[in-house]
Amino acid sequence: MENYLVTIGIPTYNRSSSLNAAISSVLSQSYQNIEVIVCDNCSTDDTQEVCKRWALKDNRIKLHRQETNVGAVSNFNTIPALANGTFFMWLADDDRISSNFVTECISILSSSPETTIVSGQAVFICSDGTQRPTRTFKNKSSSRWSNVLRYLFFVTDNSIFYGLMRTNDIRQIKLKNVLAGDWLLVMRLAYLGKLQITCAAQLFRSINGASSDSDQLLRAYGFSRIERLFPILLISREVYYEIVRDDNFWPFSKFSCRWLSGILAACITLAGKVIFWRVIPLISRCLQIIARKKADFIKRIVRALLNSK
């Protein structure tokens, strides 16, 4: 495996308390040939002081500060243009990665030209300190369109967005300032190639991140109360618009083909979210209730038998 330069971009805004852990996890990587670009969205706390202290400790850290607050999406999009690495990844300013994250991901990317993004097993850190691993999936079909549909069906928290990818690929794809814009970005990567998650490395995510409160996020996008009740429909609509409106990226020569493909992708997205966000949690809750009632029933029988003696 060649010693490629890897760029890790950390977009940040007023998160100096968690930024230390994020930067520390990056500098502790077993893979050392990295550059770290911290892109500060004009923070009003002591973020700049924290960044400067780290930069004095390690010359791999580069600082970029926006002159004004340009918004989270624009701050994310700023970093790939500044990257010098062959490979690139974003890291949220309140997340961490295991020390072998880059090593494991770059090993897969460098040996698999058809793979476009690789991430580690996502583990959510709850407020009480407990850890909650998320589902993993592999999207390794030779069919581009199959990769897209499979991704849309299985995606939930979309932690793969914080995976390692080729810098040239991500420069072709901008993160859009729409609901589930990160899904649309990974959807395009799924069309360009295969998506992979390796359980040998971990991405530790804060459960209190910017997107943890879905209703607050929907309010920020200006959706009405009725629209906020059905976020699944809103996401499916964005998937449809993404395919129908962009005739430069998607390979459909006829608008009718693109229109039908957009409808199919939206339906697949809706079906997957209904299953994983609604049906499975409902079944899980029902099984828990049944298990509790069964346990209570067994306890009553045992008491009755003991009392009968």
Confidence of residue 128 (pLDDT cuts 50, 70, 90): confident
- The mean pLDDT value for 245-260 works out to 83
Please indicate, yes or no, whether the overall pTM of this predicted structure exceeds 0.95: no
Q: In whole angstroms, how far apart are CA 207 and each of 22, 130, 159, 213, 265? A: 15, 11, 12, 10, 28
Tens digit of pLDDT for each residue in 66-125? 999 999 999 999 999 999 999 999 999 999 999 999 999 999 999 999 999 999 999 998
Superfamily of domain 6-206: Spore Coat Polysaccharide Biosynthesis Protein SpsA; Chain A (3.90.550.10)
* 176 has pLDDT over 90: yes
Do residues 265 and 149 lie in contact, with contact meaning Cβ atoms separated by under 8 Å? yes
- The mean pLDDT value for 139-152 works out to 85
Contacts of 201 (CB under 8 A, 6+ apart): 97, 98, 100, 101, 103, 104, 105, 120, 121
Q: Specify the domain boundaries for CATH 3.90.550.10 within the chain.
A: 6-206
Confidence of residue 281 (pLDDT cuts 50, 70, 90): low
Confidence of residue 28 (pLDDT cuts 50, 70, 90): very high
Do residues 158 and 186 lie in contact, with contact meaning Cβ atoms separated by under 8 Å? yes
* 223 has pLDDT over 80: no
Place of tokens 């005739």: 247
Do residues 151 and 138 lie in contact, with contact meaning Cβ atoms separated by under 8 Å? no
Spatial separation of the C-alpha atoms in residues 13 and 66, rounded to whole Å: 10
Q: Which residues pair with 8 in a beta bridge?
A: 36, 89
- Give me the phi and psi of 132, to 5 degrees please: -130, 100
- The mean pLDDT value for 169-183 works out to 93
